[in-house]
Amino acid sequence: MRDQDIHACIRTLKREIRRWKEPVVGVVAKASRDPFQILISTVLSLRTKDQTTADASARLFRLATTPTAMLALSRRAIERAIYPVGFYRTKARHIQEICRDLLARYGGRVPDEIEALLTLKGVGRKTANLVVTLGFRKPGICVDIHVHRISNRWGYIRTRTPAQSEEALRRKLPPRYWMIYNDLLVPFGQNLCTPVSPHCSECQLAASCERVGVKTSR
């Protein structure tokens, strides 16, 4: 994909994703705009299907929506609320540790800087970027496996890891697309540009896609 093609690509994706469900963390963000709920929902979403995350988040937030209230719950209560998200016991422990840290170091408020968020237990760059962009409307590029895979499949960047992809996209992607890039590519990657045998015959971006690494398609 040529650099100038990204503008037409973004316009097309904005139209295409209307037929698919919005990623669950985006739904939480629109419902509350609460950085704490966005942070916790993102932690729950790691390696977990969207519907499972949505259900678990709803159950947990019926019990507590602040670090103080969350710490008043037992770990077992948190585990029961978030089950069956992936690694639910580990995530319950991380949630408690995050809440303790927020109260001890940040006065109970979620920090709005990526480097500060990365000091919290269980928070990686994907989570930190999502919290900054969705919770605080500040520039960031959230790179999950879909963003990493598709950006490389297009030939727009050429990297080996999501961390390298974030660096490359920060250098190359026009800043006005930073905050929406993940929101566009996640549903696109879940429904059309799938990891194995993508639906290339149905894709409106096929003409500009280099199909890097694609061995079979539909």
Nearest CA-CA partner of 122 in 96, 149, 159: 96
Per the annotation, the verdict on 91 as an active-site residue is no
178, 139 in Cβ contact below 8 A? yes
Residue indicated by tokens 């979620």: 110
Per the annotation, the verdict on 144 as an active-site residue is yes
Q: How far apart are CA 123 and CA 43, in angstroms?
A: 7
Of 30, 144, 172, 183, the catalytic one is 144
Q: How far apart are CA 83 and CA 55, in angstroms?
A: 9
Q: How far apart are CA 64 and CA 78, in angstroms?
A: 10
Q: How far apart are CA 107 and CA 120, in angstroms?
A: 14
Of 5, 34, 91, 126, the catalytic one is 126
Q: How far apart are CA 144 and CA 165, in angstroms?
A: 9
Query: What separation in angstroms does the CA of 129 have from each of 41, 182, 197, 203?
Result: 13, 10, 29, 28
The residues annotated as belonging to the active site are: 126, 144
